[in-house]
Structure 1
């Protein structure tokens, strides 16, 4: 497993709706943050080209670059790791960070058993990704997350203000860094 200290606390996830602002968001994130490239909406050649452009910017800011794809593709594309449902990350591949998705205790347990380095637990709050969908809420999120030995990253409607209210240091967002007009240091001040 990856050393916990080497995993960023702050993560940006790519999506079709935030694509136009990704360059700016990657540049304003604190050095050493994390970037999860999904872009499921693009055909493979375009997806690869967009990945290369964003990876260059992310690397310039020393961000970890995680690919939502197979370990083989992550290695071919030069990503630091892979992201997806716990079963899709197994078996573990040496040299790659494994970030699993989870929505409940069963999925958290599976991610731990299969050796994920960290898990993104969602949705904590209502999101634009799943309007009207069920959410964990702060109390249930903390209850589940505190039972885990591996790092848990809060996802779903997250922002610096919500991370602070949640009292959780590790969080990820799709929209928070794209729509924010303030500098990253001001956004992050709300997480301390």
Structure 2
């Protein structure tokens, strides 16, 4: 059986191959926490390869502040880039590297940009049109979902590679496929202009 770290280091290397020569300050691999598939965010984060991005999605968990602080300490020690999803107060309190926004809050992200917030912003989008709106809102990295069939309970019908690749060709913002990306499907993303990719399930398996 492949050890978790070996598998995740392999995915990090594959994400770099997908990026190719594209220039961006964001990581090539982003890992997203999930209450069901990653019930222990700290254990999940501790196995990520150095240089990876971690998006903490707490969905209102009562212990989010304590977990967020522990994740910030772990990210600093392990060389991870910590982003907090949809919680500005928590991101500020723990000194997160960046903010992640759901598609519905792109207007709020743009308002933060207008107020001078210069930290890195990522956002999840579910259509090329939303990806264009995200680019106009000052988002640095767009997570285009769902690209492949996904086990996520919230995943819709896969949009396919070509829709995400078309977005990558038409915006200056870094574009990351999300949904069903693993060691097998990730190879199909090489050479299409993506900045890397995002994973949940592929990184949470033992």
Q: Give TM-score scaled by structure 2 length.
A: 0.76
Q: Quote the residue 1:122 is aligned against.
A: 145
Please tell me whether the aligned partners of residues 177 and 197 of structure 2 are also in contact (alpha carbons under 8 angstroms): yes
Q: Quote the residue 1:177 is aligned against.
A: 203
Note the 1:4-83 alignment, pairs <5 A: 5-43=24-62, 46-83=63-100
Q: Give TM-score scaled by structure 1 length.
A: 0.81
Task: Report the CA distance shift for 1:132/1:87 in structure 2 as closer, same or farther (over 3 A).
Answer: closer
Q: Specify which of 87, 93, 98 is matched with residue 107 of structure 2.
A: 87
Q: Quote the residue 1:100 is aligned against.
A: 123
What is the rounded CA distance, in whole Å, between the counterparts of 1:8 and 1:25 in structure 2? 17
Please tell me whether the aligned partners of residues 71 and 89 of structure 1 are also in contact (alpha carbons under 8 angstroms): no
Deviation at 1:19, TM superposition (A): 3.0
- What do the CA deviations read for 1:7-63 (whole angstroms, capped 9, x no partner)? 1010110110133454343233221110000020512xx111111222222221111
In the comparison of the two structures, how many residue pairs are matched? 175
Task: Report the CA distance shift for 1:160/1:22 in structure 2 as closer, same or farther (over 3 A).
Answer: farther
In structure 2, the residue corresponding to 1:100 is in which secondary structure? strand
Any unmatched runs of 5+ in structure 2? 1-22
- What do the CA deviations read for 1:123-156 (whole angstroms, capped 9, x no partner)? 0011122477311112222222222211001101
Q: Quote the residue 1:145 is aligned against.
A: 168
Please tell me whether the aligned partners of residues 35 and 58 of structure 2 are also in contact (alpha carbons under 8 angstroms): yes
Deviation at 1:163, TM superposition (A): 1.4
Any unmatched runs of 5+ in structure 1? 182-192
Please tell me whether the aligned partners of residues 167 and 175 of structure 2 are also in contact (alpha carbons under 8 angstroms): no
Please tell me whether the aligned partners of residues 98 and 120 of structure 2 are also in contact (alpha carbons under 8 angstroms): yes
Root-mean-square deviation over aligned CA pairs: 2.0
